[in-house]
Amino acid sequence: MKTKHYFLILAALSTFFIAARPGFMADDLIGTWQYRISDVPPEYEAGTMVFEQKDNKMVGYVESGAKNEMKNLMADQGKVTFTTENEHGEFKYSFMQKGDTLTGSIGSQYGDFPIRAVRNAK
């Protein structure tokens, strides 16, 4: 009988720890990603995003000519959001990740535009 109780306690604790574990690990995002934005002038449609782990924190930047730091970077359960700023204003990125692909939109004072990024080979 005691064995049955231990098994139930172990199962309950395992469930708790699995549920408490973040659904999205930083390693899933780390790397260099090539992006393409739809419906924008050609000089703005392509660039690179880099996600890195520094001091136990996820950081990154977007580069398309200039290098713009990602601010308010959040990654949880496959959803990735952040903002960047440059001389043209603030840009809000929102993605869903499926494997090596990020799909979403970028919002700005000029409107919202579809964006897709693919991770470079490791």
Q: Where are the domains of the chain?
A: 24-119
Proportion of the chain above pLDDT 70, given as a percent: 78
DSSP 8: H
CA 62 → CA 8, 57, 67, 95, distances in Å?
48, 17, 6, 14
pLDDT at 62: 97
Which single residue is written with the structure tokens 């490791």? 122
Whether residue 108 contacts residue 91, with contact meaning beta carbons closer than 8 Å, is answered with yes
Which single residue is written with the structure tokens 């574990």? 21
CATH of 24-119, one of 3.40.50.300, 3.10.20.740, 3.40.50.620, 2.40.128.120: 2.40.128.120
pTM, whole model, 2 decimals?
0.77
Banded pLDDT at 88 (limits 50, 70, 90): confident
Which single residue is written with the structure tokens 């973040």? 22
**CA quadruple 47, 95, 114, 70: dihedral positive or negative?**
negative
For 34-72, the pLDDT digits (tens) are: 999 999 999 989 999 999 999 989 999 999 888 999 999
Residues 6+ apart with CB under 8 A from 78: 23, 24, 96, 97, 98
